[in-house]
Amino acid sequence: MVEWISFAFIGIFAGLSAGLLGLGGGLVSVPALLYVFKFYGMPESHLMHIAVSTSLMAIIVTSFSSLMAHHRSQNVDWALMRRLSVGLTVGGFLGAYSATLFSSEVLQRIFAIYAFLMSIRLWATMPELAGLATLLKQPTMFISGTLFGGISSLVGMGGGTMVVPYLLLAGKTIQRAIGTSAACALPIAVSGVLGFILFGDKPETDNPWQMGYVNWQAFLGLISTSILFAPIGAKWARNLPVRLLERLFSLVLMAVSASLFFG
C-alpha cells in the first residue's frame, strides 16, 4: 500500500509539471522513481533503465491528458507537431537504443548532467520573436526533432525543455509553445518505450509487477494521479507566474542533479 501511495504522490507532481510547464513530467518522475526503487530494495543493476522506461510509459498517458487540455484552449499547433513528429519518433528509437548500451550508473550520471543543464536553461529568458523561418522548414525540423527525441528518450523525458524554447525561437507564443510541446511528448514516449522493448535486456527479477524495463505498479500509480493533475496544470498555466515557478523548480533540479551525479 505504501508503494502505491509513493507512486501516486510522484504522479501528482509529474502531472502538474507536464501541464503547467510543458516538461512532460520526466524531470520529476525519473529521479523520484529511482529514489523510491532504491528505498524498496530493488536490484540496482538496471534501476535507471527501469525508471527511464517507466517514466516514458507514464508520459504516454500524461501527455495525452495534457495535450487534450491544451487543445481545448486552442494552444496546440497540430500541423507543426506533425512535421516535427517524424524526427521525434526516429530520435525516440535512437535514444532508447543508446540507453541500453550504458550501465545504470552511467545512465544516472547522464541524467544528472542533463538535469543540471536544464536547470540552467530554465533561468534563461526566451523572448517571443518575429520568428526564425529556417526553424520551421525541412530538413531543420527533422534534424531538430531527431535530436530532441533522442536526448529525451535517453533520459526519460517528454522533450518540453527543448521543444518549448525551439518553438519560442520560431516565433510561437509561450502558451502555443507549451501546448504544442505537450503534443510532441507523445511520439517521443511511444517510440522510446518501443525502443526499450526491442533493444533492452530483460532484467532478472521475481517482482510480479516488472515486465522488461517497465514497472507496471509504478506506471499505474503514476498515471492514477498524473492524468488528473496534468489538465489542472494546463489551466494554471494561463494564470500563474510560470517564469517564477520555472526558476523555483530549477533550484530543486540543481540539488537533484548533484545528488544523482555524486550519489
The pLDDT tens digits of the residues spanning 235-257 come to 777 777 767 777 777 887 888 89
C-alpha–C-alpha distance, residues 40 and 7, integer Å:
12
The C-alpha cell at 256 is 537533484
Interval 69-89 mean pLDDT: 91
- Answer yes or no: are the C-beta atoms of 20 and 233 closer than 8 Å: yes
- Answer yes or no: are the C-beta atoms of 56 and 193 closer than 8 Å: yes
C-beta neighbour count of 174 within 10 angstroms: 17
Q: What is the percentage of the chain residues whose pLDDT exceeds 70?
A: 93
Residue 166 has pLDDT above 80, yes or no: yes
C-alpha–C-alpha distance, residues 17 and 32, integer Å:
14
Q: Residue 188 to residues 57, 59, 208, 248: CA-CA distances in angstroms?
A: 10, 9, 27, 26
Using CB atoms within 10 Å of the CB of residue 19, give its burial: 0 to 12 exposed, 13 to 18 middle, 19+ buried: buried
| pTM given for the model | 0.88
Q: Residue 205 to residues 42, 117, 221: CA-CA distances in angstroms?
A: 9, 34, 20
CA dihedral 215, 217, 220, 224 (to 10 degrees): -140
Q: Is the peptide bond preceding residue 139 cis, with omega within 30 degrees of 0?
A: yes
Residue spans of the domains in the chain: they are 2-262
The C-alpha cell at 51 is 525508471
- Indicate if the alpha-carbon torsion angle 31, 35, 36, 37 is positive or negative: positive
Residue 3 has pLDDT above 90, yes or no: no
What confidence score (pLDDT) does residue 143 get?
96
- Answer yes or no: are the C-beta atoms of 230 and 131 closer than 8 Å: no
Q: Which residue has the higher pLDDT, 238 or 68?
A: 68
What confidence score (pLDDT) does residue 23 get?
62
Interval 200-227 mean pLDDT: 85
